[in-house]
Amino acid sequence: MQILPRSFAQLVGVVIVAGSFAGCAPVQTAPVPAPSGPAAAVPGSPVLAAPAYKPEFGTMWTFEAPPLEYWRTTYNFTPDQGWLDNVRLASVRLPNCSASFVSANGLVMTNHHCARQCIEESSSKDSNYIQTGFAAANLRDEKKCAGLYVDQLISIEPVTDRVRAAVTAATTGERATQRGEAIAGIQRQCETGSANTCQVVSLYQGGIYSLYRFKRYSDVRLVMAPEGDIAFFGGDPDNFTYPRYDLDLTLYRVYENDIPFKPANFLRWSARGPVENEPVFVVGNPGSTGRLNTVAQMEFLRDVQYPATLAGYTRQLDIYGQLTKGDTAAARRYQNDVFGISNSQKAVTGYRTGLVDSARAANKLAFETEFRQRINADPALRAKYGGTWDAVAAAQSQLATFNPTLRYHGFAGGSQLLTMAAQIVRIASETTKPNAQRLTPYRGQGLETIKAAVSRDRNIDTRYERLALAAQLRAAQSELPATDPYLGATLAGRTPEAAAAALVSGTTLANTAARRALIEGGAAAVAASTDPLIVLARAIDPLNRSVTAKADSLNAIIATNAEMIGQALFAAYGTALPPDATFTLRISDGLVKTYAYNGTIAPYKTTFFGLYERSAAFDNKDPFHLPQRWIARRDRLDLATGFNFVSTNDIIGGNSGSPVINRNAEVVGLAFDSNIEGVPNRFLFDATTGRTVSVHSAGMIEALRKIYDGGRIADELQGVTARR
Amino acid sequence: MQILPRSFAQLVGVVIVAGSFAGCAPVQTAPVPAPSGPAAAVPGSPVLAAPAYKPEFGTMWTFEAPPLEYWRTTYNFTPDQGWLDNVRLASVRLPNCSASFVSANGLVMTNHHCARQCIEESSSKDSNYIQTGFAAANLRDEKKCAGLYVDQLISIEPVTDRVRAAVTAATTGERATQRGEAIAGIQRQCETGSANTCQVVSLYQGGIYSLYRFKRYSDVRLVMAPEGDIAFFGGDPDNFTYPRYDLDLTLYRVYENDIPFKPANFLRWSARGPVENEPVFVVGNPGSTGRLNTVAQMEFLRDVQYPATLAGYTRQLDIYGQLTKGDTAAARRYQNDVFGISNSQKAVTGYRTGLVDSARAANKLAFETEFRQRINADPALRAKYGGTWDAVAAAQSQLATFNPTLRYHGFAGGSQLLTMAAQIVRIASETTKPNAQRLTPYRGQGLETIKAAVSRDRNIDTRYERLALAAQLRAAQSELPATDPYLGATLAGRTPEAAAAALVSGTTLANTAARRALIEGGAAAVAASTDPLIVLARAIDPLNRSVTAKADSLNAIIATNAEMIGQALFAAYGTALPPDATFTLRISDGLVKTYAYNGTIAPYKTTFFGLYERSAAFDNKDPFHLPQRWIARRDRLDLATGFNFVSTNDIIGGNSGSPVINRNAEVVGLAFDSNIEGVPNRFLFDATTGRTVSVHSAGMIEALRKIYDGGRIADELQGVTARR
């Protein structure tokens, strides 16, 4: 469940950005600021009686509506409110991940891949902690992570009625503005005169609004991080797979007033770790799921969007194949790029697998039919929501008709030089406009971010550029009608190979100074430029604006109706079905469980034996290379200690770093990924073979004690009175 | 590549036996006896110029026609005749497996699963060597395996012309008789006045006939066998899979005149074992492939035969599910049955996977089209072979029309009691007939074998019987027309459940004495019996005879034409394509190679670390239980030693025990299985992910020295002057 750029984040919002000059604006997940009110956890009420739980919606339950009856009947598990409050307050959110308090002195556990920035910034010119790992010998040695904070969800308050009351206008646009203002107002009011951070969370796409109040802890220090090679052992090939052998762990400590914070609520360490077939709970912040997508939306992804994305990966991999054929030095140089693309290919193939799977598709269709029948059976609901599915389907079919135009006129994929040329042309035109009239990626901070990205020094690989541009033009030629003006502008009668060669050899844009001069020269410099890529970008720009506007209006229809379907779901099913992920706190139940794989059985856990096996089986070659310390200290380890394990919990990007706890709220693991069979769960959840992959609690302790001289930290986690 | 009954052997000839009262006659693979002639290795000549190698035909090359040019261009490997002769003479055949001479003093290496009978028979009431393993401390301690022999292929002689010359008759039946007599005559002549064993081998289904002359060694003694739990570690779940951790090894020694035989040709031990990406060769006796099957035959298997077989497995597994639900004692009791059926299900699913795979199917169709074009382009070949494919296709479609009738009227699957009732009725009728007029399974030794099987004591599980019979009747009801006389006879207006309950509770056939009395009473006793199952079997018997006769005549058409297609293949392609497997000596080339699996990469080798990993990951539970000695002596081992490895060689049941050698003809491994991806290779070979799984040469030595106190044996294998 790597939420690094190239796996999950790359795919977020891919439909929306496909047609535009995509900038580099970070994904917006930060909570928005506002006022205060009484803490309570009461969801709104559905209009119709709630039916039984639907497994395909997964188990990302909110703390507003924990499924107490379902847990009781499924696991004979009946947590009281104290259990739920303790677990909620022990769990925290990082800017991009999940984490939890795991000691009386404020230790916070998360994944190594969530903490790379702090680990890198804590390093110095004499130390590279990504390479060597780091374990503070004492409190003084713990290193403050600049700018890092953790948010603790201290209360949840229903504000659905307040938001609804503010929305009185007739048009969709005005209603959206009113809604946004109401939400901002509630958040502002919540934060006024308080140190808290507040966020109005929209569940079921507007079915419920809840005010989440967070206590923010802003003094976070690095306590322990293993070497990158053991945290991400197996690298991109093993990413999204199991059996697995990763110590994807980082420990922070929260300080207040320069002394360790003593949280009232923290998770104690399990003495025995995960037991096969026991129920366990993952508590964290899943980022984004698409389970409420309509059949039409899923079909669009399956038949249009994902095939195009996958074809792009294939083109890129073909190019690397050409660049590295018979050249081992080049193969080494491009290895990380190839692994990265293969990894994205693995993820998207996985998402699509879930959509292609006929059993899952039939299940989805059956649900949508039932859902629509429930809505249509109630005249008021029918009047309000009855037409939404068809509206989405009509817009999706419209979008499908010009998808190749949208992609190629948008310069999607391929050449970095062409993309920068397009951005230079747009920086010139957008700078002069008022913010609200700019193209979306150039609004707010977007413009400056894109400027900075284009202006920075880059190492342009012209051989790659030429191949990439040629491949892009060949693909455009095969997908667009011969009369398409894009082909006229780019090829101008040449073959794709000849056009690419001429454009790449003729442009000066590989030179940073040339790019900066064009940006600084503004519209006049851009208009006067005879650089062949700038000339080309000027020609394509109006084509792109036209097709993007067309796509934007259709996507707006889809977004509006999708929101209504979310509200309809809540009206028809209440909280019997968990809402789509919102990067806010959820609790997912599941079982520690083996599964059928590779013609045999995948074990519920792995051990340190397996780590050494996988390294030895690949002759210790990268990415199966063990850090020196793990080689030297091998004999200290009890190799039969559990290292990773799997469970049927429902997680996705954003859940990285979530604690896995047993029914006593004790830590048995640390979630960090999904197996390959779990990747399709993005759209339709299925626990037959999909699994959450976690670091085993016993493995973390064993490594701390035997490999990292971290007895001080292990003692603290296990609640042992300090021995040193 | 377990050639144990339930994996491969069960499936051999499944089309032919499906409609008959299948007896228990062993698969006939023993060579047939006859005369002598000059040793030579010259294949016949094809009529048309031979085209390029077709990868889908695999690499089971004969020693008559080693693909020297293909090896040279593929691996830059150019063995001389001495290399080939040495390898051929160092390889030997066991009655059901492959093996090789691996020391100057006559050590023979094969798989543990090939040697179970000898290991069991060498045990005594005080020792169970399957459980404890066995390693002879010295020569005196080596234990003779009664009745066991190994056959060494000492010469190959072309006899195609002699066989052809003898076949002069006009009708198919008479020609077959003449051919059989000619072959028997050649074999007899070869064996007369010689100690050798001779076999005329039909390659390309009659395209070439070769006389194989074997030297037989009949004093074979058990030297070393590990515990069954380490030889078959992972049991049925891990069977047909990789990564794998099995010491599937047994060492014999051949004696002559009570002293160790000193073979002139034996394989030396490699000092470094298999190296990633190096070419390796598997030399052994593959039993049966179906690569020459026509598209129509493959479609029949894919659409009719295998789905029926798989439905039968599903029914059986459902029954075990009912018998064991919530009953852990029953679950333990039936565990081996469930594993066994799951294993067969795995194999058949794998075979069918290869047939369903659209890329492979397209490949097959393209080849058949090309093949037919080549034949049709030559008037003489066209006249002789042009009509064969359509004849096969017509017979297969005919067979498809009454397949359910053939299966259910034949009592296929399900109740043991009903099967025995049917056999009792047939023993009575067939005994009185001349051999040639009997139903096929009752000819020759068949009658006595079936009699013995029905007469022996059996532990009949009546709960299972009732469920199995009910399931069988339900399935018949769903597949046969309501008016089918079988349904009338079995159900007689009752529900399947009621009929099954009445039949099982009413019969006395669970009683051995009752069965023996009916057999001894002959036709009169059977005719007079009022046992409900005997009454039923009498009613079904004529239905079965009628449908079986119909199927037999269609299968005879298929067999005749298939033989002609084999001959056509040789005429069109010569020895450029290897012939289908014949349980005679072949040499297959391949590479030691990783492959894509489970979203990541399967390593080319495993190590002892992985063995301990898999055991620990399953908490040392059966079938991942380690023998005590392996637990106690773990620290003696260098755990990074290679244990198993994979290569792209082409093997199938019968190849078990084959040596894997490098280009220096040194042993780098011992083949024992295929991975799950390799199972579909039965029909169309594909080396993308299909792999041969072998024991690593270094792992065998390490285990002998550190676990089995077998330094004496390891020294002998490695050619070290004895140290003790």
Tell whether the model's pLDDT for residue B32 goes beyond 90: no
Spatial neighbors of A639 by CB under 8 A, at least 6 apart, are A607, A608, A609, A612, B609, B612, B616
**Average pLDDT estimate for B656-679:** 97
Tell whether the model's pLDDT for residue A311 goes beyond 60: yes
Segments in A580-632 forming alpha helices (H): 608-617, 628-632
Tell whether the model's pLDDT for residue A222 goes beyond 80: yes
Distance from CA of A683 to the nearest CA of B (A): 19
Q: Give the model's pLDDT for residue B151.
A: 98
Any chain B CB within 8 A of the CB of A609? yes
Q: Packing angle between helix A416-431 and helix A512-528, nearest 10 degrees?
A: 50
Sign of CA dihedral A668, A669, A671, A673: negative
For A593, nearest residue in chain B (alpha carbons): B618
Tell whether the model's pLDDT for residue B39 goes beyond 80: no
For B339, nearest residue in chain A (alpha carbons): A600
Tokens of B210: 């070769």
pLDDT band at residue B435 using 50, 70 and 90 as cut-offs? confident
Q: Give the model's pLDDT for residue A48.
A: 53
pLDDT band at residue A413 using 50, 70 and 90 as cut-offs? low
Cβ contact A229:A626 at 8 Å: yes
pLDDT tens per residue, range B131-154: 999 999 999 999 999 999 999 999
Query: Mean of the per-residue pLDDT values for chain B?
Result: 90
Any chain A CB within 8 A of the CB of B241? yes
Cβ contact A606:A273 at 8 Å: no
pLDDT tens per residue, range A47-105: 555 556 788 999 999 999 999 999 999 999 999 999 999 999 999 999 989 999 999 99
Tell whether the model's pLDDT for residue A215 goes beyond 90: yes
pLDDT band at residue B359 using 50, 70 and 90 as cut-offs? confident
Amino acid at A319: I
Any chain B CB within 8 A of the CB of A442? no
pLDDT band at residue B636 using 50, 70 and 90 as cut-offs? very high
Nearest to A240 among B597, B599, B618 (CB): B599
pLDDT tens per residue, range A360-407: 888 899 999 999 999 999 999 999 999 999 999 999 999 999 999 999
**Average pLDDT estimate for A264-271:** 98
Q: Give the model's pLDDT for residue B49.
A: 53
Q: Is A209 helix (H, G, I), strand (E, B) or coil?
A: strand
Any chain B CB within 8 A of the CB of A269? no
Any chain A CB within 8 A of the CB of B235? no
Cβ contact B415:B465 at 8 Å: yes
pLDDT tens per residue, range A526-576: 999 999 999 999 999 999 999 999 998 999 899 889 989 999 999 999 889
pLDDT tens per residue, range A324-346: 998 888 888 888 788 788 888 98
Q: Give the model's pLDDT for residue A439.
A: 87
pLDDT tens per residue, range A60-72: 999 999 999 999 9
Calpha distance B189→B183 (Å, rounded): 10
Give the percent of chain B with pLDDT over 90: 80
What does the DSSP assignment read for A150-196?
Answer: EEEEEEEEE-HHHHHHH---SSHHHHHHHHHHHHHHHHHHHHTTSS-
Tell whether the model's pLDDT for residue B18 goes beyond 50: no
Any chain A CB within 8 A of the CB of B635? no
Any chain B CB within 8 A of the CB of A185? no
pLDDT band at residue B276 using 50, 70 and 90 as cut-offs? very high
Cβ-based burial of A632 (10 A; exposed 0-12, middle 13-18, buried ≥19): exposed
**Average pLDDT estimate for A602-631:** 97
**Average pLDDT estimate for A108-131:** 93
Query: Mean of the per-residue pLDDT values for chain A?
Result: 90
End-to-end CA distance of chain B: 37
pLDDT tens per residue, range A625-647: 999 999 999 999 999 999 999 99
Calpha distance B712→B714 (Å, rounded): 6
Any chain A CB within 8 A of the CB of B596? no
Distance from CA of B609 to the nearest CA of A (A): 5
Tell whether the model's pLDDT for residue A201 goes beyond 80: yes
Question: What residues in B contact A346, CB-CB < 8 Å?
Answer: 599
Tokens of A399: 């979008």
pLDDT band at residue B343 using 50, 70 and 90 as cut-offs? confident
Tell whether the model's pLDDT for residue B27 goes beyond 50: no
Calpha distance B214→B201 (Å, rounded): 12
Any chain B CB within 8 A of the CB of A605? yes
Q: Give the model's pLDDT for residue B440.
A: 83
Any chain A CB within 8 A of the CB of B276? yes
Question: What residues in B contact A240, CB-CB < 8 Å?
Answer: 599
- Inter-chain residue contact A237 with B640, CB threshold 8 Å: no
Cβ contact B644:B241 at 8 Å: no
Residues comprising chain A, all counted: 724
| Contact map slice: B 673-702 vs A, CB within 8 A | 675-676
- Inter-chain residue contact B600 with A238, CB threshold 8 Å: yes
- Give A674's strand partners: A692
Question: What residues in B contact A243, CB-CB < 8 Å?
Answer: 617
Calpha distance B653→B273 (Å, rounded): 24
Tell whether the model's pLDDT for residue A460 goes beyond 70: yes
Q: Give the model's pLDDT for residue B412.
A: 59
Question: What residues in A contact B603, CB-CB < 8 Å?
Answer: 614, 617-618
Count of C-beta atoms within a 10 Å radius of residue A350: 21
- Inter-chain residue contact A616 with B609, CB threshold 8 Å: yes
Distance from CA of A502 to the nearest CA of B (A): 39
β-strand pairing of B268-269 with B666-674:
parallel
Nearest to B613 among A238, A613, A676 (CB): A613
Cβ contact A638:A702 at 8 Å: yes
Q: Give the model's pLDDT for residue A7.
A: 28
- Inter-chain residue contact A612 with B243, CB threshold 8 Å: no
For A345, nearest residue in chain B (alpha carbons): B599
Calpha distance A265→A152 (Å, rounded): 11
Distance from CA of A505 to the nearest CA of B (A): 38
Amino acid at B460: I
Question: What residues in A contact B238, CB-CB < 8 Å?
Answer: 600
A to B CB pairs, distance under 8 Å: 78
Say what the ipTM of the complex is: 0.86
- Inter-chain residue contact B598 with A276, CB threshold 8 Å: no
Any chain B CB within 8 A of the CB of A639? yes
pLDDT band at residue B445 using 50, 70 and 90 as cut-offs? confident
Question: What residues in A contact B598, CB-CB < 8 Å?
Answer: 241, 597-598, 676
- Which one of A601, A622, A636 makes the best mutation probe of the B interface by having the most chain B beta carbons within 10 Å? A601
Q: Of B297, B227, B205, B281, which is closest to residue B15 (Cα–Cα)?
A: B297
- Which one of B600, B615, B634, B639 makes the best mutation probe of the A interface by having the most chain A beta carbons within 10 Å? B600
**Average pLDDT estimate for B694-705:** 98
For B635, nearest residue in chain A (alpha carbons): A635
> Which region among A7-11, A164-168, A279-283, A717-721 has the lowest average model confidence (pLDDT)?
A7-11
pLDDT band at residue B336 using 50, 70 and 90 as cut-offs? confident
Any chain B CB within 8 A of the CB of A597? yes
Nearest to A601 among B237, B597, B616 (CB): B237
- Inter-chain residue contact B605 with A617, CB threshold 8 Å: yes
- Inter-chain residue contact A617 with B603, CB threshold 8 Å: yes
pLDDT tens per residue, range A422-446: 999 999 999 999 988 888 889 888 8
- Give B589's strand partners: B281
